[in-house]
Each structure stands twice: as C-alpha cells, then as structure tokens.
A and B are shown apart, each in its own frame.
Chain A
Amino acid sequence: MKEILEILENDARTTPEEIAKMLKKSVGAVRSAIKKYEKQGVIVKYKTVLNTDILKDDAQKVRALIEVRVAPQRGKGFDHIAERIYRFPEVKSCFLLSGSYDLLLVVEGRDIQDVSSFVSERLATIDNVNSTVTHFILKRYKADGDILKRIERSHRMAISF
C-alpha cells in the first residue's frame, strides 16, 4: 500500500476510487490505508505547489537561506532550540545539519527589510543562538522535486503507430 503515498505525493487530487483502480485494490482498502497514514502522521497535509514568482505584484515573496549556529542544551539537545525557531511562521523550513553550522532555515518575507528584521530582531536575539549567516535567494528553479518553470507540452505527433 506504500504505492498510495507515491501516487498522492505526485498528485494529491487523485481520488481513492482512482487509486483503487490503479493498484487493483478495493476502494475501502485504499480509504482505510489513507486514513491510517493520516493518523500516523505519514501524510502531514495536502497542499498546492505554487510559483508566486510569476505574479508580478504584492504576492511576490523574498526568501533567504539562513545558517544558524546554536548552543545545544543539556538534556534537550538541539530539539528545544530548533522548536523555538521553527515555531515562527516566517520560518518555512528548518533542518538540523552536520558540518560547520547547525540549523538551516528557509525564511520568507514580503521584502528584504522584512526578512532582515526577522533575523536581527527575533532570530539573532534568541538565547543560545550564537551566530547567523543570511543568503538571499535570487531565483528558485526547482523546489522539492518540482521544476518551477512551466514545462512545455510534449512535442509528440498527435498520432503515430
């Protein structure tokens, strides 16, 4: 039933009826498998992939990758400080990394000032945050496996043997 996840990850609109046909399973079995995955938290939520860069208006966003060095806390490791940080809605992604810094964030804001003030006023002032390095994202080409440019329709001939 893991193939259900592959199908939904690719297109969350696929209905249980359609999945049942694709996998030769009963609709009931597919529905209950989906329910189970939702309950377990394997399926976190269903959402839409956007490329707002195309909108030439206020909906445009500025994004930055931020390297954060923190001091882990006794008994809590990195999880506690990470949560302090990722709870901010401005933080769109948060990863703990190996290597020369600890957390990598993707932060989103209306403009450069917005992101800058988040970093200087909120992030850098948290106890145990030792330093930050901010890289503004100039252009997103591909995100989470999706190429953001509109892919041209197939060039195939309409009919062939």
Chain B
Amino acid sequence: MKISKVVEKMKPSGIREFFDLVIGMKDVISLGVGEPDFVTPWNICESAIFSLEKGYTSYTSNKGLYELRLGISRYLKNKFSLSYSPDRDILVTTGVSEAVDLALRAILNRGDKILVPDPSYVSYDPVSELAGGRVVLMKTPGEDDFKLTPALVKKHISKGVKAIVLNYPANPTGVSYTKKELLALSKVFINNDLIVISDEIYDELTYDFPHTPLATLPGMKQRTIYLNGFSKAFAMTGWRIGYACGPEKIISAMTKIHQYTMLCAPIMGQLAGIEALRGSSGSVLEMKREYKRRREFIVSRLNEIGLDCRMPEGTFYVFPSIKSTGMDSQDFAKKLLYKEKVAVVPGTAFGSQGEGYVRIAYASSMDDLKEACRRIEHFLKSGKNGK
C-alpha cells in the first residue's frame, strides 16, 4: 500500500525517539509539557457537567454555538475594541490547531509561498506543505532575540509569497512584540499584500506590556486571520476549543472545509467555553500572576547556573542557550534526562535556529521548578568535571 507523496515527504518529528524515552521513564520531572499545569477552573468544569446532565450531547451548527460566537465577539470587543460579527466573522474550531490547518488550506494554491519563522511551533511548516504551499523559512537567530523585524521579513519577500504565519507570544521562545514593533511589521505586510495568519493563543500570558492583536492595527483587519482559543489562558487544552476570526470571505471558506472534515467542534467544549468567557477572569489573572513569578524565578536561576537565558515577554516557556556546554540540543536533552531525570525539549524540534537551545516550560509547580533547576545545576557542574 502506498501513501501519499506529500505525507511521505513530511519530516517525521526528529525527536519522536526522545519523546518515547521520556514517556518510558519513571520519576522524571518534565519541563517539556506544552500545556498549563493548572486544571480547568471549577466553574467551567461544573458548568460542563451540568450541560451533560441536561443532555447537551448533539452536533452544533458548523460555525459553533451562536452563544459562544456571541461571547467571543463581546470578549474581543471589550478587551481589545476588536469588532467581529458573531454571524459572519467567527468560526469555532477544534483547537487552534484545526484553525491553522483551515486557514492555510483556505488561502493557499499549489505552489504559493508562505513565510514561516524559524524557530516556531511545530505544525506551521508541515501543515502548510500539506495545503500545497511552499514554505519559506525566516531565520530568527537567538543573537537577534528570535525576533522578526521589518527588514528580515522584507528580505524574504519574493514573487509568489502570499501569506505569513505570525505567532506571538511565541512557542517555543516566549517572544512577543510591542504595539510599536507590530506597527512597523504591519507596514511590510500591507505593502506586500500579505495575508497574515496570526496565532495569538498565548495572548493572555503577556507579562510586561499589554498584548496588541494584529487585527487592531490600521489596515490589518482585512488581511488578518486572527486565531485564538481557550487552551492556554483558561487551562482548557483537552477541551479542544479554538476560534478563527477574519474577513467574512475567508471565514466562509474555512467553514466550508470545516463542515466536511470536522462538522463542528465538540459541544461539551463549546459549552465550557461559554462559561469560561462568562466568569473566569479572576482565575485567569491568578494563573497569570503565578506564571509571572515562575518566569522571574526560572530566568534568574538559569542565568545563575550558567545557562544564558533571555527574559521572554510571554507564554510559559523559556528558551535558554546551552551553547556554553558544548553539547548540541538533542545531546543535552538526552543526557540531562538520563543523568538527572529532567525532561526538556531540544530546540531543534522547532527548527534549525533552535540548535543550541532547549525549551523549558515553567508550567510546573514551584517545587518541581526548584528541584529541576537544582538538578540542571548538578548536571552542568558534573559535566565540567568530566564525570
């Protein structure tokens, strides 16, 4: 039996083997988890349980429950003065992952070029390829703080470039952009008539300045597909609820694909989402405060023990350099796992520019973070002594 050529060509995740290793080991402190350590706030769980008891177990409309779309519309309006019509401009998806796929498939023709940062979240590149696009990687090296600049984006513009994927605050680097930086970038997007897929799933976890949605900038709303969801801010990863907002034409196109492939996002998650928007701002702020403390702690500790680590603006990741150890990312991660039972993700999982770095998620209890840092310190010291 032969599988499709596109799929065959897709790079198997190079670190699958490493993942299996982690999963097979006992008593590991894992700082490799890409989701909150908090469980979903109880008001959300309780509301979902109640809906199940009342028998809400059916399909919903393709675009998602109207009440949820209305909630999303109001939330964006109140928080960012960003107006999207619940009737036309919003599609509820099965996590932002699905929304990324739909957006790419809705805009790309075979051979269209799409700009993707390197390093970046693992799905943008392969899913663009699946959609028939040709990925142009924009290298954002650690020396430049992993940041996109107008000059860097311009450098990669060529004939056939149709779109760009933006993710901020970014997984895996934690990088985010101020309004000023975004304004400068937006001019390049506009001048080159790019569609921007803006994945802003970590927006609530921005610590040093307010998050600015790209679509709020002049001239950007009509070319931005704004993606967000409930997973990170509300600790609802397993509920699989995300959403896409954008021009009606694009949302309709995405809905076309969605109705044949997914039909609708699961109703339990959608109902939970309604409650999340209604009454969870307290829990969100509490989690954010806790993450912020952990961020300060881990950045300070990592620098103290000799791993150069920039202060990320958002997310719950830090992306320290391990170059001083002389090891490459995979080697470092494997040895750290074997010797000290601490799991981190090799930076190379996110692209070539991740070489020399590892992703550490601080979405773990303070106790685990302290202990993990102690073990990493021990690992670094024993390495120096050649033991």
Contact = CB atoms under 8 A, between A and B. Distances in A.
Contact of A22 (B22, B35, B123, B294): B294
Can you list the 9 inter-chain pairs with the closest CB atoms, starting with the nearest? A22-B293, A159-B32, A21-B300, A160-B34, A158-B30, A21-B297, A22-B297, A161-B122, A161-B34
A4 B35 CA distance: 26
B296 A22 contact: yes
A158 B343 contact: yes
Q: How large is the interface on B (under 10, 10 to 19, 20 to 34, 35 or more residues)?
A: 20 to 34
Contacts of B345: 159, 161
B285 to A, nearest CB: 12
Given A11-B366, A14-B366, A160 B297 contact: no
Interface in B93-123: 121-123
Contacts of A160: 32-35
A7 to B, nearest CB: 7
Contacts of A3: 289, 293
Interface in A36-91: none
Contacts of A22: 293-294, 296-297
A21 B296 CA distance: 6
B33 A23 contact: no
Contacts of A111: none
B19 A156 contact: no
Contact of A156 (B33, B121, B123, B294): B33
A157 interface: yes
Contacts of B19: 159
B37 interface: yes
A53 B136 CA distance: 62
A21 B292 CA distance: 11
Nearest to A6: B289
Contacts of B22: 158-159
Given A18-B297, A21-B296, A161-B122, 4 more contacts: A21-B301, A158-B32, A159-B32, A161-B349
Interface of A: 3, 6-7, 11, 14, 18, 21-24, 154, 156-161
Which of A3, A23, A157, A159 counts the most B-chain CB atoms under 10 A from its CB? A159
Contacts of A18: 297, 366, 370
Interface string B70-103: 0000000000000000000000000000000000
Interface in B327-354: 343, 345, 349
Contact of B33 (A6, A14, A21, A158): A158
Contact of A157 (B33, B121, B289): B33
A153 to B, nearest CB: 10
Nearest to B295: A22
Interface in B341-375: 343, 345, 349, 366-367, 370
Contacts of B300: 21, 24
B171 interface: yes
A154 B349 contact: no
Contacts of A154: 37, 39
Interface string B9-45: 0000000000100110000101011110101000000
A49 to B, nearest CB: 15
16 contacts: A3-B293, A18-B370, A21-B301, A22-B294, A22-B296, A23-B296, A154-B39, A157-B23, A158-B33, A159-B30, A160-B33, A160-B35, A161-B34, A161-B121, A161-B123, A161-B171
B317 to A, nearest CB: 11
Contacts of A21: 296-297, 300-301
Interface in B290-320: 293-294, 296-297, 300-301
A160 B37 CA distance: 12
Contacts of B35: 156, 160
A122 B245 CA distance: 69
Contacts of A156: 33, 35, 37
A160 B33 CA distance: 5
Contacts of A159: 19, 22-23, 30, 32-33, 343, 345
Contacts of B121: 161
Nearest to B23: A158
Contacts of A14: 366
